[in-house]
Amino acid sequence: MFFLFAGHWYYPTGGSGDFIGRFESIDDAKTYFRDNKDTISDSYIDLWAEILDSETMTSVAFGTLAEPITESGSTREKWYSGRDDYEESW
For the stretch 35-86, pLDDT in tens is 887 787 765 567 888 899 999 988 888 887 765 544 554 556 677 776 666 6
Q: Which domain holds residue 55?
A: 2-88
pLDDT of residue 18: 86
Total domains in the chain come to: 1
* Contacts with 23 (C-beta within 8 Å, 6 or more apart), sequence order: 1, 2, 3, 4, 29, 32, 51
Mean pLDDT of 6-23: 77
User: Phi and psi of 89, rounded to 5°?
Assistant: -75, -15
Q: What is the rounded distance in angstroms from the CA atom of residue 21 to the CA atom of residue 6?
A: 10
